[in-house]
Amino acid sequence: MNTPIRLVLADDHEVTREGFVSLLAGHPEFTVVGQAADGQQALELCEQLLPDIAILDIRMPLLNGLGAARLLQQKLPQVKVVMFTMDDSPDHLEAAIAAGAVGYLLKDASREEMLDALRRVVAGEEALNSAVSARLLRRIAERSASGGIAQEVLTERERQVLGLVAGGFSNREIGEKLGIATGTVKAHVERVIGKLGAADRTQAAVRGIAIGIIAQPATHW
Is the pLDDT at 28 greater than 70? The verdict is: yes
Is the pLDDT at 151 greater than 50? The verdict is: no
pLDDT digits (tens, 9 = 90+) for 117-139: 899 888 888 777 656 655 555 65
Is the pLDDT at 85 greater than 70? The verdict is: yes
pLDDT more than 90, % of the chain: 31
Q: Which residue has the higher pLDDT, 48 or 219?
A: 48
Mean per-residue pLDDT of the chain: 81
DSSP characters over the chain? -PPPEEEEEE-S-HHHHHHHHHHTTT-TTEEEEEEESSHHHHHHHHHHH--SEEEE-SS-SSS-HHHHHHHHHHH-TTSEEEEEES---HHHHHHHHHTT-SEEEETT--HHHHHHHHHHHHTT--EE-HHHHHHHHHHHHHHHGGG----PPPPHHHHHHHHHHHTT--HHHHHHHHT--HHHHHHHHHHHHHHTT-SSHHHHHHHHHHTTSS-SPPPP-
Is the pLDDT at 115 greater than 50? The verdict is: yes
Q: Which residue has the higher pLDDT, 169 or 218?
A: 169
CATH annotation of 134-210? 3.40.50.2300
5-128 and 134-210: identical CATH topology:
yes
Q: What is the pLDDT of residue 11?
A: 94
Q: Which residue has the higher pLDDT, 131 or 68?
A: 68
Give the Cα separation of 182 and 176 in Å (integer).
8
Q: What is the pLDDT of residue 126?
A: 76
- Cα–Cα nearest to 170, from 100, 217, 112, 121: 121
Q: What is the pLDDT of residue 93?
A: 76
Q: Is the pTM of this model over 0.75?
A: no
Q: What is the pLDDT of residue 149?
A: 46
CATH annotation of 5-128? 3.40.50.2300
**Domain locations in the chain as residue ranges:** 5-128, 134-210
Average pLDDT over residues 195-215: 72
Q: What is the pLDDT of residue 166?
A: 75
Average pLDDT over residues 152-168: 81
Q: What is the pLDDT of residue 129?
A: 61
Give the Cα separation of 83 and 217 in Å (integer).
22
As to burial, measured by CB atoms within 10 angstroms (0-12 exposed, 13-18 middle, 19+ buried), residue 128 is buried
